[in-house]
Amino acid sequence: MTQVANLPTVPNAMAGPITDKMLEQVICAGTTAQKCTGLSDADAALIILTIPQIATELLHRRRAMGVIADMTELDNVTFMPSVRDNG
C-alpha cells in the first residue's frame, strides 16, 4: 500500500488583535443573541471570529493567575493595569 504524502495546508483564518471597542461589540452582540432579539449576520460573524481568541486569552490568564496564587500570598499584592489592557 502506498503512503500519501502530507500535503501543505493553509491555517484557518483568524481575526486580528481584539481591541476594547471590539470587545464591547462582542458583548452587545452576545447579549442580543442571548435575548433572541434579532441577531444580525454581522453580529453572528463577529462572535464566531472573536470568541475562540477571547476564550483562549481568558484561559491563559486564569492559568497564570492560578500559578501566581500558588506561589504568593495575594492579600498584599496590588495589580496595576497595563497599557495592553487599556487598548
Residue ranges per domain, the chain? 20-71
Helices (H), the chain: 20-35, 41-71
Alpha-carbon distance of 32 to 36, in angstroms, equals: 6
Query: What is the three-class DSSP state of 87?
Result: coil
pTM for the model = 0.50
Instruction: Record the cell numbers describing residue 47, joined without a space.
Output: 462572535
Q: Does the pLDDT at position 22 exceed 70?
A: yes
The three grid cell numbers given for residue 39, joined into one nine-digit string: 441577531
| CA 2 to chain CA mean position, Å | 42
Identify the residue with better confidence: 39 or 74: 39
| 49 touches 25 (CB < 8 A) | no
Per-residue confidence (pLDDT) for residue 73, from 0 to 100: 67
pLDDT of residue 3: 66
